[in-house]
Structure 1
């Protein structure tokens, strides 16, 4: 089973997932990193793990539809079976979704349905909430609205600022995401073996 990770930024979740694939803790092979920001730090991380990288922007492609068509060509070229979003800051459109239904997972830094979209940690903090969280969910055609697979709560302390809260949310992500992805890939692998 061939897995692609999509990411847009620093890539700390990519780093942890890549290590798990390298140590054979994950079923399948990490075959591709796709990044929509060619100069994002995650690109260097992928190169350090010898994971093939492809990167282009919506602007380069002349719009969202040609951009997604180009991604689909890439997924076919690398024969990708499953997609893991790790800090990929774009909404997945129908061109990809119809080919990968229930085969794309996302990690969101909030306890969905609370705070979908961008700046979730910041918004929870500025609303003076006592807790936020982390959600792993399947991707559908809405904004962070797909079926929830697993969630964890993260307390917001009275002493928290954005930096300290972000750090604790990321620590929770780094524990939860590899564990959930591992379980999903294992189930898919078992099912494929049983179907043969």
Structure 2
């Protein structure tokens, strides 16, 4: 039986779309998308893919607690068992994370623990690494510090531009994230 997931995104939603398209292979059903920015292009993808979505904009709530309460309401309404972060740029509180212990996954465009934060690809490129990559990890109360589920290295070739390196990282994300989600789902079913 497929596990229901809610996807949270802030931007373009390419990882969201990839997950929706591979949902059957992963063994999940994408119950809905939550975006925290009015301009999030992920909404256009959700509409095209016929996935329910909700815009929950942080500044429209009195505080983070109210904002997160609304997110939890939607997750519960959709009966989602897992929360998949796909370019979701808001920091979640420890209280929120505790409600979904080992059921919130995030993808990060570097080989953690190196190059944490919002600009992992650019930071690795500017540092001059020869290898960076992609990490899928459980979300904990730190920033990109949760237990690593899977990683895949991506070489930075001589003469590579930031744009071409970003493209290679994103292509790796599209392969790795579904595999990591499937691995977590399979582990939960074995227990």
Q: TM-score range by the shorter chain?
A: over 0.9
- State the shift of 1:58 in Å: 1.0
Q: Specify the SS of the correspondent of 1:91.
A: coil
Q: Summarize the alignment of residues 35-54 of structure 1 with structure 2, pairs less than 5 Å apart.
A: 35-54=35-54
- Deviation string 1:26-54 (CA, Å, 9 cap, x unpaired) is 22311010111132111110111111101
Of residues 58-67 and 100-109 in structure 1, the stretch that sits farther from structure 2 once superposed is 58-67
Contact 2:111/2:152 (CA < 8 Å) preserved in 1? yes
Offset of residue 114 of structure 1? 0.1
SS in 1 for 2:44: helix
CA offsets 1:79-114 (integer angstroms, 9 cap, x no match) = 221011111111221232111000001000000000
Q: Distance in 1 between the 2:45 and 2:181 partners? A: 19
- Extract unaligned runs of 5+ from structure 2: none
Residue of structure 2 equivalent to 1:14: 16
Q: Would you say the 8 A contact 1:35–1:54 is kept in 2?
A: yes
- How far, CA to CA, are the matches of 1:160 and 1:70 in structure 2? 43
The whole-number CA distance in structure 2 between the counterparts of 1:170 and 1:180 is 15
**Runs of 4 or more above 2 Å deviation:** 186-191
Contact 2:82 2:103 in 1 (8 A): yes
Structure 1, unaligned stretches of length 5 or more?
192-196
What is the root-mean-square deviation of aligned Cα atoms in Å?
Answer: 1.2
- TM-score by length of structure 1 reads 0.92
Q: For 2:78 and 2:16, how far apart are their aligned partners in 1?
A: 18
Task: Give, in whole Å, the separation in 1 of the partners of 2:153 and 2:109.
Answer: 10
TM-score (norm 2): 0.94
2:24 corresponds to 1:27: no
Distance 1:27 1:168 in 2: 26
CA distance in 2, matches of 1:78, 1:95: 20
Match of 2:91 in 1: 91
What are the equivalent positions in structure 2 for 1:12-161 lying under 5 Å apart? 12-21=14-23, 24-161=24-161
